[in-house]
Chains A and B, each alone.
Chain A
Amino acid sequence: MDVREHDAEVQEIYARWLDLGTRAGFAASLVAFLVYVSGAVPPYLPLDALPRYWGLPVGEYLRQTGAPSGWDWLSHLGGGAEYLNLACMALLGVVTMLCYMRIVPVLLRLGERVQAALAIAQIAVLLAAASGFFAGG
């Protein structure tokens, strides 16, 4: 199998996972947003209070509203509709990582060691970003 055939196989697998992940992320984001603006799940910060805070720098916003940062928003999923939305948008942030994780074994099977190493390095960068450890959140 040559480079052309390797690329066709890897790109198709990446495309399939990207397609599925993105559709799931968009659908979940839309539903979560409707839940948020309809009031079906109460928000952490009432919608009509938002105009008082959305013009503030993020540090000041967090200080005045007591809103969570880092991973603390996970504990508000049940009682803060905006964090349900945040979880859905975070899904969009992990789609690429999942695609890379899926193609690593395929690249190794095809003998594409350099490409596999690049994919593993990219996964490490995305995991480091998602961990929040280096973001200071």
Chain B
Amino acid sequence: MEAAAAHWWIWPLALFAMSFAIGIVAVLGGVGGGVLFVPIVGGFFPFHLDFVRGAGLVFALAGTLAAGPTLLRNRMASLRLVMPLALAGSVASFVGAVVGLSMSTELLQTALGVTVIVIAILIAASKDAFAAGAVESDALGAALRMKGDYEDPAAGARIDWRTHRTIAGFGAFGAIGFLGGLFGLGAGFANVPALNLLMAAPLKVAVGSSGLIISIINSSAAWVYIHRGALLPILAVPAILGVMLGSRIGARLLEVTPAATVRRVVVVVMLLAGTRALLRGLGLWT
């Protein structure tokens, strides 16, 4: 115990290094960092899962807040699309955070393990992106004017888009927000398919808008963790700094790194971290 007290700084430093590595891999693998951060840090670091989830939420919040201005200016994120979905998601995320902080650690670890393993399988089996532009708005989508356009340099054209299945979209973002608040995840892994495959937003708009949605949803859940005393600066700040630096490196490596290989690595890491959380929750590997 004395040695642990004298060397308290080793764990925040290791957390910074891990967050830096996660920042790189998350960008290259096309997943949100939170889905790696919470199971890895929760499974292999000495911090309690309550504090890890609090740090995970701020970790995802910081990354998406930083990216937001660029995404909005180049119209990869659409406020018109984001506002109704984020509203549903932020209410659900708040409820998820309250429920998560009331659950037993073992049950939460088990549920986190199962969720991360399922997400890893979904990522591994994910279908190709939906080609947008071919749908008509439904009545609610038309009333909310959920449509827009962006310049696509690759296509050399302005792409007009609109979305459909708006009610199903609200349901999806309610469920995603709940899981995000419960486990302290950003849930980008689910936002993008919900926007692209379910609602037919173009992939680029789905990716950009997903980031902005996370920044809004997590702002609501972060307050629950702050008020319950579950946000420790000694975890949260090194995590934020690490992921911000790592994401910048990852973005630079994006052009020269085989994305498919990194994606497979991400899936394997998630399976390992998810299994660790599951076994810990079941009391089989404490």
CB distance from A117 to the nearest CB of B (A): 10
User: For residue B47, which residues in chain A have a CB less than 8 angstroms away from its CB?
Assistant: 54-55
A22 touches which of B11, B65, B73, B224 (Cβ 8 Å): B65
Query: What are 5 inter-chain pairs, A to B, with CB distance below 8 A?
Result: A19-B69, A115-B80, A135-B98, A135-B223, A136-B227
Binding site for B on A (CB under 8 A): 3-4, 7-8, 10-12, 14-16, 18-19, 21-22, 25-26, 29-30, 32-33, 36-37, 47-52, 54-58, 61-62, 67-71, 73, 82, 85-86, 89-90, 92-97, 103, 114-115, 118-119, 121-122, 125-126, 128-130, 132, 134-137
Instruction: State whether A122 touches B90 (Cβ < 8 A).
Output: yes
Contacts of B226 in A (CB 8 A): 86, 89-90, 93, 137
Chain A residues contacting B244 (CB-CB under 8 Å) are 26
* Pair A16/B66 contact, Cβ less than 8 Å: no
Cα(A25)–Cα(B237), bound, Å: 12
Q: Cβ of A12: which chain B residues have Cβ within 8 Å of it?
A: 72-73
Q: Mask for B38-79, Cβ within 8 A of A = 1, else 0?
A: 000000001110110000001001100110111011010111
Q: A67 to B221: give the CA distance in the assembly, Å.
A: 21
Contact A71 B227 (CB under 8 A): yes
Q: What is the chain A residue whose CB lies nearest that of B12? A: A37
Name the B residues within 8 Å of A114 (CB-CB).
143-145
- Chain B min CB distance to A119 (Å): 7
**A14:B72 contact, CB within 8 angstroms:** yes
Is B6's beta carbon under 8 Å from chain A? Answer: yes
Q: A32-B233, A135-B98 are in contact. List 6 more A-B contacts (CB 8 A).
A: A3-B145, A15-B69, A22-B69, A51-B4, A52-B4, A135-B227
The answer for the CA separation of A85 and B237 in the assembled complex, in Å, is 8
Closest approach, in angstroms, between the C-beta of B75 and any C-beta of chain A?
A: 7
Complex Cα distance, B97 from A137, in Å, reads: 12
Interface size on B, residues (CB 8 A): 67
Nearest CB of B to A6, in Å: 9
Contact A130 B79 (CB under 8 A): no
Q: Is B83 an interface residue (CB 8 A)?
A: yes
B101 within 8 A of A: yes
A97 in complex: contacting residue of B8, B51, B219, B236, CB < 8 Å: B219
Establish whether residues B98 and A95, one from each chain, have CB atoms under 8 Å apart when the complex forms.
no
A118→B46 contact, CB < 8 A: no
For the complex formed, measure the closest distance between the CB of B142 and the CB atoms of chain A, giving whole angstroms: 11
CB-CB under 8 A from A97, the residues of chain B are: 219
Report chain A residues within 8 Å CB of B228. Answer: 58, 69, 135-137
The yes or no answer to B91 lying at the interface (CB within 8 A) is: yes
Partner of B235, one of A30, A54, A58, A136: A54
Q: In the complex where A4-B149, A51-B5, A58-B229 touch, is A125 in contact with B90 (Cβ < 8 A)?
A: yes
Contact A93 B237 (CB under 8 A): no
